[in-house]
Amino acid sequence: MPIRLVDRNPVVPADQLIANMVPPTMFDDVSFASYIPDPAEPTQAEAVAKAEEFAGKVGKIRSGGKRGLFGKKTQATGAGLYLDGGFGVGKTHLLASIYHATPEPKAFGTFVELTHVVGALGFTKALEEFSNHSVLCIDEFELDDPGDTMLVSRLLTELSGRGVSIVATSNTLPGQLGEGRFAAQDFLREIKKLGSIFEAVRVDGPDYRHRDLPPAPDPLSDEDLTAAAERIENASLDDFDELVKHLSTLHPSRYGKLIEGVEQVFVSGVHAAPDQSVALRIVVLADRLYDAGTPVTVSGAKLDELFTEEMLQGGYRKKYLRATSRLLALSRFASV
C-alpha cells in the first residue's frame, strides 16, 4: 500500500535546523575535479578556478586575523563569492565543492531554507549559531522578497564582520546575459556593506538537465498511476489538490522531512496551480524532491503545465522555471 504524504505531519526540532544544513545527497561526492567544464563555455573553467581559490581562503581567514596595538588578535573579515548564471550550469556543484573543501563548522542551504531557519530561531540566535562557522553556502539567492532579502543581508553583514565567509549562487534566465549581470549588481547593492568583498563570477551554458534529452514522459492514466505506485516499495500516492492543501498546513522547513524515506512520488489529478501561494509551495516541494533525488510520476496535466503563462511572466518567473526544470529531470528517473 503506497504511503500518503497527506497523512504525514513531520516536526523538525529547532536545534536540528542548522545541523541539517548540508548539501543534498546527490552532491555528497562532488569536487572541483569532478566538475567537467564545457569547452564551448570558457566561463565554466574560470568559475571552477575562482571557486577553488575561494575555498583556499576560507580556512586562512578563520585562523588568521590581525594584531592590534596591545597584541589582541582581531578577526579578519570573511571572503565573499557570488556565482551568477542560468539554470543547470553546475553552480550548485561548485557550491557543494566549496562546502566539502572548507573546515567545520560550516553550513549549506538555499536562500529559502536560510530565511526559514532565521525565522524559526530568531535573528539573534541564528547570528550566534552561524558566527563560529567558516563558511555559509547559500544556493539560489533571491531578490523577489524585499523583506527576506534585507533580513538575510543584515545577517550576512554581521557574519562577514565576524570572519564568516559567504558564497552564494543565483539563477538567471538562459541566454539573458545582461539580466544576469544586473541581478548580480542588485544583489551587491542590497548588501552594501558586503559589496566590497564579494566577487561576482559568471557561469554560462545550457541547462545540463535537458541537454540532449527527450521531452518528459506523458502523464499516466489514474489507473496506471495507482498500479505503478503499488508496485514500488515505499512509494507515495496522493491526489494533487489534497497534497497542495496539506502543504499549506506545514511550514516549508518541514517539506524535506515530509518526503523522507519515500522512494518515488506519485501524484494524481495534476493541474495548473490556481494561485501564487500554491505555486510557491510547489516550488519548495520541487526543490526538496530534487535535493533528495526522488523521482516523480503524475497523472493529469504535464509537469511543464503546473505554472500558468501569467505566472511565468510575473516576478517569480525564475522560481517557476527552476521548479519545472527540476521536476522534468526527476520525471525521467521514474519507474512506471
Q: Residue 327 has what pLDDT?
A: 93
Residue with cell 535537458: 210
Q: Residue 34 has what pLDDT?
A: 96
Classify each residue of 28-46 as buried b or exposed e, where b means 16 or more C-beta atoms within 10 Å of its C-beta.
Answer: eebebeebebbeebebbee
C-beta of residue 108 within 8 angstroms of C-beta of residue 22:
yes
Residue with cell 542590497: 190
The C-alpha cell that represents 20 in the structure block: 541539517
Q: Residue 211 has what pLDDT?
A: 56
Amino acid at 19: A
Q: Residue 108 has what pLDDT?
A: 97
The C-alpha cell that represents 2 in the structure block: 503506497
**DSSP code for 232:** S
Domain positions in the chain are 31-206, 213-331
Residue 197 has pLDDT above 70, yes or no: no
Choice among 65-69, 142-146, 200-204 with the minimum mean pLDDT:
65-69
Q: How far is C-alpha 77 from the chain's CA centre?
A: 25
The C-alpha cell that represents 79 in the structure block: 571572503
pLDDT tens across 92-134, in order? 999 999 999 999 999 999 888 898 889 888 999 999 999 999 9
Q: Residue 182 has what pLDDT?
A: 47
Q: The domain at 31-206 falls in which architecture?
A: 3-Layer(aba) Sandwich (3.40)
C-beta of residue 21 within 8 angstroms of C-beta of residue 107:
yes
Q: Residue 289 has what pLDDT?
A: 95
Q: Residue 195 has what pLDDT?
A: 61
User: Is the CA virtual torsion 316, 317, 320, 325 positive or negative?
Assistant: negative
C-beta of residue 161 within 8 angstroms of C-beta of residue 178:
no
pLDDT over 70, % of the chain:
84
pLDDT over 90, % of the chain:
53
The C-alpha cell that represents 142 in the structure block: 533571491
Q: Residue 154 has what pLDDT?
A: 87
Q: What's the Cα-to-Cα distance from 43 to each of 100, 174, 182, 208, 278, rounded to whole Å?
A: 22, 14, 17, 15, 36
C-beta of residue 77 within 8 angstroms of C-beta of residue 161:
yes
C-beta of residue 247 within 8 angstroms of C-beta of residue 8:
no
pLDDT-derived band at 249, boundaries 50, 70, 90: very high
Mean pLDDT, the chain, rounded, equals 85
User: Is 307 buried (19+), middle (13-18) or exposed (0-12) by CB count in 10 A?
Assistant: buried
Of 70-79, 113-122, 192-201, 293-302, the range with the highest mean pLDDT is 293-302
Residue 177 has pLDDT above 50, yes or no: no
What are 265's strand-pairing partners? 236, 296
Quote the Cα angle for 276-3-252, to 5°: 30
Amino acid at 187: F
Residue 286 has pLDDT above 50, yes or no: yes
**Cβ–Cβ contacts within 10 Å for residue 150, how many?**
12
* Backbone angle region of 269, left / alpha / beta, with phi > 0 → left and psi within -120 to 50 → alpha: left
The C-alpha cell that represents 153 in the structure block: 543581508
Choice among 84-88, 212-216, 285-289 with the minimum mean pLDDT:
212-216
The C-alpha cell that represents 171 in the structure block: 539563477
